[in-house]
Chains A and B, each alone.
Chain A
Amino acid sequence: MEEIYIGDYSLLGKNIPRIDAYEKVTGEAKYAADIELPGMLWCKILRSPLPHAKILNIDISRAKRLTGVKAVCTAKDFKGFRWGWMPITRDEPPLAEDKVRFYGEGVAAVAAIDEETAEEALELIKVDYEELPGVFDPEEALKEGAPVVHDYRPNNISWEFHMDFGDVEKGFKEADLVREDRFATGRVITGFLEPPAAVALWDSSGITIWAAKQSPYFVYRHLAQCFNLPLNKVRVIQPFVGGGFGGTKNDSVAGDFCSVLFSKMTGKPVKFVYKMEEVFLTCRRRHNAIIYNKMGMKKDGTITAMQSRLIADGGAYTAIGPLTMYLTGCISTLPYKLPNFKHDAYRVFTNNPVGAAMRGHGVTHTRFAAEIQMDMMAEELGLDPMEIRLKNAIEAPHVTINRVTIFSCGLKDGLLKLKDHPLWKERKKEKKGNEIISGVGISGVAYLGGARQRGHQSCAAVLRLCEDGTVEYLTGATDAGQGSDTVLTQIVAEELGLSIEHVDIHRVDTAYTPCDAGSYGSRVTALAGEAAMKAARDLKRQLADYAAKEWNVSPGDIVFKNNKVYPKHMPDKAIPFRKLAQIACYSGVGAVIIGKGYSQYGIEPYDFEKGMGNAGTAYSFTSQLTRVEVDQETGFTRCTDMIIAHDCGKPLNPGLVESQNQGAGVQGLGQAIYEEFVMDRGRTLNANLADYKMPTAVDAPNIEVIHILTDDPNVPYGAKEASEGAIVSSPPSVISAIHDATGIWFKELPVTPEKIALALREKKKE
């Protein structure tokens, strides 16, 4: 880890150790499952053994009579409450109402004195089902006469988006080569290690819940709606969070609603912790998608048009799916020049578990298809995959055909660094072995940071100055592991000229912290960071007024540096920051010094219907080289190296940015060659970490991260996103490497050893 010079800062660009590292290496850090309250009950959920069935009757009487059982609930206790991303898509009840729509959906829940008793009680609940024909493939679900998952969507189309820019037909006519291919991305899970968990307490002050959430203000609103309480009676307290990656921990789960309800019914605190099997069977997963992609290219490699039709498996409920569909298209016009673009995205209901957001949200599907197809066409035209990218790469400033505006772009710079890298330069020299063959692949992608949704967008910060010069920092943003608490604290301390240990960031407690949209879409450093910067400047401005009076200078001339304060050009007059804090706090009868700020980037309107405008505040650019070794006999692929050239603008903590890229690179490797849910009629057959293969330490390649520095005016200190780019760049670069080794193009993820071995055998026959 090296420092990166990004400006004259004391803390930014430096590898400040994570502020939560001590708690995490000592076991002190408390996660939701570690919390225990006196008299606490355990909540367990009974789950459907069928993927699609009418619920005829639920008999809870025997369960209720079991000693130790304190309460049992079913859907009717929630009085018709349903939640969802948009008002018109609120289709998901905490527990199934009249029918179950996926295997493992909650149908009833129990609260008992301990986990064992709760589990025993579940077995005493009798549910009568009438099984309905199910539909498990999104293309099947679109056919006439397919079983209908939701009556309000008789054609099973949960959501659709249509984007049409320029004239694709004209573009295809101008092309020398037009290709159409069918690509597919896999059924994968976010893969956090900490299962969803919470402890809920209902008392006279309302709801208090300690919940494992990466965006706690979602569950805050959901609980207020569900239990018809004002927001100031809902208190979500954020313990440490054991990973998020979008989807499940951005949302509410059945356990949240049931444990709160049980606490209301019993007056006791109620805890739930999902088993890993429940996570695999029932939690949000990435949509798997089929992408029909058509691209037009001139002989020299210029892309003339692209048309995509995407069909995504939405599973049983809408969740955040409309945004997923939007993201599959809205930045397909990046990172290569594209004059004509048409996109039709269909999110389709099936009787599978729910598809939702995951790191690299939406973009990963269509960019995978476009990257591989571009390589296939380059091969047909005899063009080099590096040159075709350099030829088409956009440069800042740039406005795409759908009005995405780019102020900074490090794509070309990154590609040129990769072009010069020994891994690329010497790839042809490598002798192909007999058994093991090797290959190097490349990709270049873009991702948005500071993502916007409809509704509340802003992040805010409140800084409370203590009389001894320390600062309490309240933010609504959540660090689910990515390191944002450290980066945000760096920002506040930098602005105030303080050492990092003088600023104490507080994890979310909705009773005190300002409302925040959430930790998704790479928005924390961009937007919570902007709020932190502004709050610190607000605090500094107030302090400068006191200091200016002391020295009889203008407030603008007060310098805050190295825990000291002094008038510009008079550093010998410096007083400790702590002294100024005391003067300010003790002035008059005693002043209250609070700094506040909120984010304002990205407030210009964008057209969500047409797919036009900026869904993010700034865009990162990632290019990646991957080297693989493929065993010709078994098809087993080992990834040996990844070189990730990532334009995060200005890395505020380079080590954390590297770690984000490394993690995303390996997560993307999992998607490319290892991970896939094995499904049988809606049932997940490999619902555990032994059979669902996430990359282990042995599978991890050597990863080199190259920081590409750019300067973007639309994010604080020029810091753009990290990691969502690399999870998008990773799969196509891995697949392109496998092609380089085998000569075969694989278009469906994951590319497992079986697929490779079979394809190699077919190839031999030819």
Chain B
Amino acid sequence: MEKKEIRFKINGENIVISIKPNKTLLEMIREDLKLTGTKEACDHGECGACTVLMNGVPVNSCLVLAMEAHGKEILTIEGLKQNNRLDPIQEAFIQNTGMQCGFCTPGMIMSTKALLNRNSKPSDDEIKEAIAGNLCRCTGYTKIFESIKDASSKIGGK
């Protein structure tokens, strides 16, 4: 399959890359750009481990073709840190033990980022809804809810 050139921004950096049109955004991120923080688990859009933000909207990158990134802005877990400082969401997940194995964590944090970008004071139900597509087998979600609430209060407090 012939490669096609696309241009986009990822984590603030401009990228020009030739890519096979059948490649998914997830494959491009992990294999071509070597950003392995984004995880592949189910590869069918069922678990949310591969969640990244595309123009601020959370997407399952395993269901999106790389070509669709053309002209867009992508944010992955690696792009959350600003000037070597963690995002308040990352801080909150550390402080509240919002993880165990960590495999769902990048996707979970990216879904949280999208939620708090559009709604800095979400209700409990809105939090549950926002991460309903992100499976976690380890934590029973309690400490993830607590992390998100803490992040919301940190961000909202500004």
- Which residues of A does B touch, CB under 8 Å? 1, 15, 17-18, 20-31, 33-34, 36, 190-195, 240-245, 273, 275-276, 480-483, 655-656, 658-659, 661-667, 688-690, 694, 696-698, 700, 702-703
| B90 x A193 contact (CB < 8 A) | no
Query: In the complex, which residues 69-107 of chain B have their Cβ closer than 8 Å to any Cβ of chain A?
Result: 76-78, 80-81, 86, 90, 93-97, 99-106
Q: Could you say which interface size class chain B belongs to?
A: 35 or more
| B46 x A688 contact (CB < 8 A) | yes
Write out the residue numbers on chain B whose beta carbons fall within 8 Å of the beta carbon of A664: 140
| B129 x A698 contact (CB < 8 A) | yes
| B96 x A1 contact (CB < 8 A) | yes
1/0 per position for B44-66, CB-CB distance to A under 8 A? 10110100000000000000000
| A20 x B142 contact (CB < 8 A) | no
| A193 x B93 contact (CB < 8 A) | no
CB within 8 Å for A694 and B135 given contacts A25-B105, A27-B35: yes
Looking at the assembled complex, report how far the CB atom of B83 sits from the nearest CB atom of chain A, in whole angstroms.
Answer: 14
Instruction: Report Cα–Cα, A688/B100, bound state, in Å.
Output: 23
| B90 x A245 contact (CB < 8 A) | no
13 contacts between A and B (CB under 8 A): A15-B97, A21-B94, A26-B90, A193-B39, A193-B41, A193-B135, A193-B137, A194-B41, A688-B46, A689-B47, A696-B132, A697-B131, A697-B144
Instruction: Report Cα–Cα, A493/B109, bound state, in Å.
Output: 30
Looking at the assembled complex, report how far the CB atom of A59 sits from the nearest CB atom of chain B, in whole angstroms.
Answer: 29
Instruction: Report Cα–Cα, A663/B139, bound state, in Å.
Output: 4
Instruction: Report Cα–Cα, A664/B137, bound state, in Å.
Output: 9
Say which residue of B36, B97, B105, B135 sits within 8 Å of A656 (CB atoms): B97
| B42 x A688 contact (CB < 8 A) | yes
| B100 x A22 contact (CB < 8 A) | no
8 further interface pairs, Cβ-Cβ under 8 Å (given A25-B93, A243-B100, A690-B46): A18-B99, A27-B37, A242-B103, A276-B41, A480-B101, A666-B140, A697-B131, A698-B129
Write out the residue numbers on chain A whose beta carbons fall within 8 Å of the beta carbon of B40: 33, 273
Instruction: Report Cα–Cα, A24/B135, bound state, in Å.
Output: 16
| B94 x A25 contact (CB < 8 A) | yes
Write out the residue numbers on chain B whose beta carbons fall within 8 Å of the beta carbon of A698: 128-129, 132
CB within 8 Å for A697 and B128 given contacts A242-B102, A481-B138: yes
Query: In the complex, which residues 120-148 of chain B have their Cβ closer than 8 Å to any Cβ of chain A?
Result: 127-129, 131-145
Looking at the assembled complex, report how far the CB atom of B37 sits from the nearest CB atom of chain A, in whole angstroms.
Answer: 2
Write out the residue numbers on chain A whose beta carbons fall within 8 Å of the beta carbon of B99: 18, 21, 24-25
Instruction: Report Cα–Cα, A15/B95, bound state, in Å.
Output: 9
Instruction: Report Cα–Cα, A665/B127, bound state, in Å.
Output: 20
| A27 x B100 contact (CB < 8 A) | no
Instruction: Report Cα–Cα, A698/B141, bound state, in Å.
Output: 9
Interface centre among A190, A193, A194 (most CB of B within 10 A): A193
Instruction: Report Cα–Cα, A698/B94, bound state, in Å.
Output: 23
Looking at the assembled complex, report how far the CB atom of A118 sits from the nearest CB atom of chain B, in whole angstroms.
Answer: 15
Nearest first, the 6 A-B pairs at minimum CB distance are A27-B37, A481-B101, A242-B103, A24-B102, A662-B140, A666-B140
Looking at the assembled complex, report how far the CB atom of B95 sits from the nearest CB atom of chain A, in whole angstroms.
Answer: 6
Write out the residue numbers on chain B whose beta carbons fall within 8 Å of the beta carbon of A26: 37, 77-78, 80-81, 86, 90
| B100 x A481 contact (CB < 8 A) | yes
Write out the residue numbers on chain B whose beta carbons fall within 8 Å of the beta carbon of A22: 86, 94
Say which residue of A191, A241, A480, A700 sits within 8 Å of B142 (CB atoms): A700
Write out the residue numbers on chain B whose beta carbons fall within 8 Å of the beta carbon of A658: 142-143
Interface of B is mostly: loop
| A31 x B103 contact (CB < 8 A) | yes
Looking at the assembled complex, report how far the CB atom of B138 sits from the nearest CB atom of chain A, in whole angstroms.
Answer: 5
| B137 x A694 contact (CB < 8 A) | yes
CB within 8 Å for A689 and B46 given contacts A483-B100, A666-B140: yes
Looking at the assembled complex, report how far the CB atom of B85 sits from the nearest CB atom of chain A, in whole angstroms.
Answer: 11
Say which residue of B34, B97, B106, B127 sits within 8 Å of A659 (CB atoms): B97
- Minimal Cβ-Cβ distance residue in B for A656: B97
Write out the residue numbers on chain B whose beta carbons fall within 8 Å of the beta carbon of A656: 97
| B77 x A243 contact (CB < 8 A) | no
Looking at the assembled complex, report how far the CB atom of B31 sits from the nearest CB atom of chain A, in whole angstroms.
Answer: 9
| B103 x A703 contact (CB < 8 A) | no
Interface centre among A656, A659, A662 (most CB of B within 10 A): A659
Looking at the assembled complex, report how far the CB atom of B105 sits from the nearest CB atom of chain A, in whole angstroms.
Answer: 5
| B137 x A655 contact (CB < 8 A) | no
Instruction: Report Cα–Cα, A702/B145, bound state, in Å.
Output: 10
| A659 x B142 contact (CB < 8 A) | yes
Write out the residue numbers on chain B whose beta carbons fall within 8 Å of the beta carbon of A195: 41
- Minimal Cβ-Cβ distance residue in B for A197: B40
Say which residue of A17, A18, A33, A700 sits within 8 Å of B141 (CB atoms): A700
| A665 x B137 contact (CB < 8 A) | no
Write out the residue numbers on chain A whose beta carbons fall within 8 Å of the beta carbon of B142: 658-659, 662, 700, 702-703
CB within 8 Å for A34 and B102 given contacts A17-B97, A667-B140, A694-B137: no
Say which residue of A25, A241, A694, A696 sits within 8 Å of B86 (CB atoms): A25
Say which residue of A20, A31, A244, A663 sits within 8 Å of B140 (CB atoms): A663
- Minimal Cβ-Cβ distance residue in A for B22: A116
CB within 8 Å for A27 and B137 given contacts A481-B101, A698-B129: no
- Minimal Cβ-Cβ distance residue in A for B148: A697
Write out the residue numbers on chain A whose beta carbons fall within 8 Å of the beta carbon of B76: 27
Write out the residue numbers on chain A whose beta carbons fall within 8 Å of the beta carbon of B41: 193-195, 242, 276, 689
| B46 x A27 contact (CB < 8 A) | no
Instruction: Report Cα–Cα, A34/B37, bound state, in Å.
Output: 8
Question: Does B152 touch A at the CB level, under 8 Å?
Answer: no
Write out the residue numbers on chain B whose beta carbons fall within 8 Å of the beta carbon of A28: 37
- Minimal Cβ-Cβ distance residue in A for B101: A481
| A1 x B97 contact (CB < 8 A) | yes
Looking at the assembled complex, report how far the CB atom of B55 sits from the nearest CB atom of chain A, in whole angstroms.
Answer: 20
Interface centre among B77, B101, B102, B109 (most CB of A within 10 A): B101
Write out the residue numbers on chain B whose beta carbons fall within 8 Å of the beta carbon of A190: 137
| A243 x B131 contact (CB < 8 A) | no
| A663 x B138 contact (CB < 8 A) | yes
CB within 8 Å for A29 and B102 given contacts A194-B39, A690-B46: yes
Looking at the assembled complex, report how far the CB atom of B45 sits from the nearest CB atom of chain A, in whole angstroms.
Answer: 8
| A240 x B140 contact (CB < 8 A) | no
